[in-house]
Amino acid sequence: MTARVTAPGVVLVGTMGAGKTTVGRILAEQWGVGFRDTDHDVEAGVGKSVQDIFVDAGEAEFRRIEAAAVAAALTAHDGVLALGGGAVLDPSTRALLADHTVVFLRVGLSDAASRVGLGVARPLLLGNVRGRMKQLIEERAEIYLSVATHTVDTDGRPALEVAAAVREAVGR
């Protein structure tokens, strides 16, 4: 039996389609800790899907709620935490991340677009999945790198392999 490691405290960041939720769940299982996802926290708190929050309240309001959810999760959760792809746009969130082990799951356009499919549940991609995704990957690359303590490339790699690479990177 593989020994389980406790209290990893790893935060996963990256664009939509980077595999944060899939890889995060694998890591949590392997480490024997909880997995938490801030998109889910936002949805549970508001009682609406991310998509509906964008439609009903707008992106700025979503970002405000998201920043509060991230701040809460960073103090209350000691397992694996996946942040929504745009959470790092908030300067206060970036400041909070400075105290954590943050892994940037880097993905290129082709893999990201194929992982999200038509992206119906992702309002920022509606209408032009590949075009919007390309723009987000380019716009945010430096921001992800600036908050990351480790970067793991995910292109062409199955989730289990990415999880193994994260474990190697963080040494747990």
> Which residues sit at the interface with ligand S3P, rule CB under 6 A?
15-16, 20, 39, 50, 84-86, 122-124, 136
Q: Which is nearer to ligand S3P, 133 or 170 (CB)?
A: 133
Q: Which is nearer to ligand S3P, 5 or 115 (CB)?
A: 115
Q: Which is nearer to ligand S3P, 18 or 165 (CB)?
A: 18
Buried b (16+ CB within 10 A) or exposed e, 53-71: bbeeeeeeebbebbbbbbe
Q: Which is nearer to ligand S3P, 7 or 44 (CB)?
A: 44
106 CB burial (10 A radius; 0-12, 13-18, 19+): buried
Give the number of C-alpha atoms closer than 13 A to the C-alpha of residue 72, restricted to the C-beta side: 14
Minimal distance, residue 15 CB to ligand S3P, in Å: 6
Distance, in Å, from the CA atom of 85 to the CA atom of 123, rounded to the nearest integer, reads 12
Tokens, residue 88: 């790092």
Minimal distance, residue 85 CB to ligand S3P, in Å: 3
Minimal distance, residue 77 CB to ligand S3P, in Å: 16
